[in-house]
Amino acid sequence: MPLFTSLEEALKHFFGYDTFRSGQKQIVEEALQNKDLLIIMPTGGGKSLCFQLPALLKPGLTVVVSPLIALMQDQVDTLQDNGIGATFLNSTLDYEEMRSRQGAILQGKIKLLYVAPEKLLAEKFGSFLDQVANQVGIAAIAIDEAHCVSEWGHDFRPEYRQLKLLRDRYPQVPILALTATATKRVRQDIITQLGLRQPQIHITSFNRTNIHYEVQPKDKKSYSQLLQQIRTQSGSGIVYCLSRRSVEEIAYRLQKDEVKALPYHAGMTDERRTINQTRFLRDDVQVMVATIAFGMGINKPDVRFVYHYDLPRSLENFYQESGRAGRDGEAAKSILFFSISDRQKINYLIEQKSDPSEQRIARQQLRQIVDYAEGTDCRRTILLSYFGERFRGDCGKCDNCLTPKTLEDWTIEAQKFLSCVARCQEKFGMMHIIDVLRGARKKKIEQYGHHLLSTYGIGKSRSIAEWKMLGRSLLHQELVSETNDGYRILKLNKRSWEILRKQRSVQIAVSDRPKSEPGREYNFTKAEAEILFERLKQLRKQIANLHSVPPYIIFADSSLKLMAQLQPQTLTEFANISGVGSHKLKQYGEQFVSVIREFCQVQKLPTPLPSHSQMATLQLHQQGLNVDEIAQKRNLAVSTINTHLSELIEMNQPVALNRLVQLDKQQRIKGAIEKIGADSLKQIKEYLGENYSYVEIRLVRAWWRSHQQ
Ligand code: ADP
Ligand code: ZN
């Protein structure tokens, strides 16, 4: 293995990247010190690298626990395509294959081994692992999707609980636990259930800075809106729908409208689903129309857009689903279609639930997603506040931030609102507070004696909608809190008190949002780089088909974009592109460089178009007139016509050179140019002598130039 002077050098060598993403370097350093780690990063944050790079730099085998076979396959393919010894063992392999892979591991040829948790715990496998520990050593155990150990997470898998046995069996081996979702509760669970030892905890912000968020009103015309927008996009996308029926319908309509789209939902056979998924991963189709059954286990990094055609169940779902866009860090967007009737549909479903506490939680989840859809604050602020992260707003990458709006000072109203919360002893939700402020005559108010409060009726001048807007915004800006038990009881926090003490002012974004114009700002102009990008994508697809892998395994979109912009024409220049590691350079360098070279040469050909006057000359020439006749007819000098003709030749226009210069003379002139170059007419003339005119030389030189590249 080569020796590296820095981690950056190793990063470039194995993965082709120039810089670490936020958090990665420190994690790698700590992993190299054999510390236990808990790593919480949003989807696309770059978790894999956190255990893969240390695995390559340490002696021994790193065992990676991963719950999904499809994900394993994908990660192993990606690693192998970087020339890294990686493999997986699971129930899909036959005996022979299993033996040969185990052999390779024991010979130390493999640095990363992916296994499913149930496999890892099987007895037979245990003795194999002991053998590995003795012969090559176990460098670390990485547990991906670690939230699966917790009943409090969204994807509990009992077999994950057993993983603690590994800690007991190999106490010296450090454990890295990784996940994209973890509330405090889940986090604690991971630490105890896996028996992590004073783990370093790394939490990266959940802000997905490359995703543009937008909400569009949904009405009868939404399908055509969707269609029109998809047509202006390049790259892959997902359209999420709530029901199987609407998945089928939208997929069918898109196909009829000549968008390459396929459906995906739990009602289809496994086989059909796998086929559709593979066709999407390999860019054979552009759009997947799916229920939420589609997504877990999809690692496609270059999804450029995610539509929610129907309202998602919760903000958490929305975050995870929209987060499948842009895992590669390139620009991507999330669009939610929202209508009041969708909200009523979900409400109806909730009412069908028999368990009141389930109902309560579902209702709260619905309100949170509706708040996102109807909110006037920065969408990112709203989304991140759900994860307990405060975001200052003004992201410049969501519809609310991009729509001109006025910030109004609502400090006085906020004080009224919050003091009403205080006087109701922080035991009520927003609607009740608003009722009290507006002096509503309701039984509930009298029951609690709230009509006697000093804040009763002090907010009559504002409508219910305005108070709601304020309340919502206070929540999003975390200027007030609410309980998370389904009751949504408002609680004052540190910042609420600052407002009440007049130490903090409150700004509210008030906008009458115009309907969004479909596809604005995403229409691209097909500039040169854009054309080359498409060309490189074709090459990538050809290679991917040849190897039966998805195109992103070969190169990420970001690498192709860089190639299109920087247009490296030598292997050395090509090696500098981010994403080109030493292995990929060897594998694909020649092919990509030659496409780029060819493209550059074609671009540099003179391709200006003839002027009107030149075209007039060309026409007469094509009618058979000689130079003198053309000059006479056009009332121009003979020399002008000669200039026209040589310029036309240089522009590759159909001028019959043979009618202008005798064939043998042409040969001699070409010979002279090849000998002494084309730069100086005078030198060529001197070389050729009296019998050759400047006009003839110029015409032939034009022809000669048009045939050079
Ligand atoms: P996660 O598992 O956190 O969702 P991945 O590990 O799949 O994310 O990484 C997401 C994408 O980012 C992958 O395409 C990966 O190759 C890329 N990536 C990771 N680290 C870097 C880096 N330092 N520079 C550039 N790209 C990176
Ligand atoms: Zn914003």
pLDDT 10s digits, 191-215: 999 999 999 999 988 899 999 999 9
**Of ligand 1's atoms, which has the minimum distance to the CA of residue 11?**
23
Q: 């389930």: which residue's tokens? A: 358
For domain 406-510, which CATH number applies: 3.40.630.30, 3.20.20.80, 1.10.10.10, 1.20.120.450? 1.10.10.10
* Cβ–Cβ < 8 Å for 489, 424: no
pLDDT band at 523 (very low <50, low <70, confident <90, very high): very low
Q: From the CA of 393, which ligand is nearest?
A: 2
Q: Write the DSSP symbol of residue 609.
A: P
Among protein residues, the one with the nearest Cα to ligand 1's atom 18 is 46
The closest alpha carbon to 142, from 34, 298, 12, 6, belongs to 34
Instruction: Tell me how far apart the alpha carbons of residues 205 and 470 are, in angstroms, rounded to a whole number.
Output: 26
CATH 3.40.50.300 domain position(s) in the chain: 7-203, 211-386
**535-554 pLDDT per residue, tens:** 999 999 999 999 999 999 99
Q: 């286990």: which residue's tokens? A: 297
Q: From the CA of 398, which ligand is nearest?
A: 2
Position 60 pLDDT exceeds 90: yes
pLDDT band at 182 (very low <50, low <70, confident <90, very high): low
**11-41 pLDDT per residue, tens:** 999 999 999 998 899 999 999 999 999 999 9
Which among 49, 78, 577 is the best mutation to test ligand 1's pocket, defined by most ligand atoms within 8 Å of the CB? Answer: 49
Instruction: Tell me how far apart the alpha carbons of residues 141 and 34 are, in angstroms, rounded to a whole number.
Output: 11
Q: From the CA of 50, which ligand is nearest?
A: 1
Instruction: Tell me how far apart the alpha carbons of residues 564 and 562 are, in angstroms, rounded to a whole number.
Output: 5
For residue 48, how far is its CA from the centre of ligand 1 (angstroms)? Answer: 7
- CA neighbours closer than 13 Å in the CB half-sphere of residue 43: 21
Q: 């030598």: which residue's tokens? A: 570
For domain 524-603, which CATH number applies: 3.40.50.300, 3.40.50.720, 1.10.150.80, 1.10.3720.10? 1.10.150.80
How far from 214 is each of 376, 391, 476, CA to CA, in Å? 11, 17, 17
Predicted TM-score (pTM) of this structure: 0.68
For residue 16, how far is its CA from the centre of ligand 1 (angstroms)? Answer: 12
Helix 24-32 and helix 47-57: axis angle, to 10°?
40
**303-362 pLDDT per residue, tens:** 999 999 999 988 888 998 999 999 998 999 999 999 877 888 888 888 888 888 888 888
Q: 């979109």: which residue's tokens? A: 557
**Of ligand 1's atoms, which has the minimum distance to the CA of residue 18?**
24
Amino acid code (one letter) for 151? E
Burial class of residue 253, CB neighbours in 10 A (0-12, 13-18, 19+): middle
CATH 1.10.150.80 domain position(s) in the chain: 524-603
Planar angle of CA 206, 511, 505, nearest 5 degrees: 70
- CA neighbours closer than 13 Å in the CB half-sphere of residue 509: 23
Domain 211-386, second-level architecture: 3-Layer(aba) Sandwich (3.40)
Q: 């052999």: which residue's tokens? A: 103
State the pairing for strand pair 507-510/406-409: antiparallel
- Over its C-alpha atoms, the chain yields an Rg (Å, rounded) of 34
Look over the chain and give the mean of its residue pLDDT values, rounded to a whole number. 89
Among protein residues, the one with the nearest Cα to ligand 1's atom 11 is 328
CA quadruple 458, 460, 461, 466: dihedral sign: positive
- Residue 391, phi-psi category: left (phi > 0), alpha (psi -120 to 50), beta (remainder): beta
Backbone angles phi, psi at 509, to 5 degrees: -85, 115
Q: What percent of the chain has pLDDT over 70?
A: 95
Q: From the CA of 19, which ligand is nearest?
A: 1
For residue 568, how far is its CA from the centre of ligand 1 (angstroms)? Answer: 24
Position 153 pLDDT exceeds 80: no
Residues with CB under 6 A from ligand 1: 17, 20-21, 24, 41, 43-49, 301, 327-329, 556
Which among 7, 12, 15, 18 is the best mutation to test ligand 1's pocket, defined by most ligand atoms within 8 Å of the CB? Answer: 15
For residue 392, how far is its CA from the centre of ligand 2 (angstroms)? Answer: 9
For residue 138, how far is its CA from the centre of ligand 1 (angstroms)? Answer: 24
State the pairing for strand pair 138-143/175-179: parallel
* Cβ–Cβ < 8 Å for 276, 249: no
**392-422 pLDDT per residue, tens:** 888 999 999 988 677 789 999 999 999 999 9
Pair of tokens at residue 333: 């967007």
Which among 13, 21, 84 is the best mutation to test ligand 1's pocket, defined by most ligand atoms within 8 Å of the CB? Answer: 21
Q: From the CA of 400, which ligand is nearest?
A: 2
Q: 């506040």: which residue's tokens? A: 385
Q: Does domain 7-203 have CATH number 3.40.50.970?
A: no
Pair of tokens at residue 648: 């036309």
H or E element that contains 124: helix 123-135
For residue 662, how far is its CA from the centre of ligand 1 (angstroms)? Answer: 65
Contacts of residue 628, defined as CB under 8 A and 6 or more positions apart, other chains included, come to 638
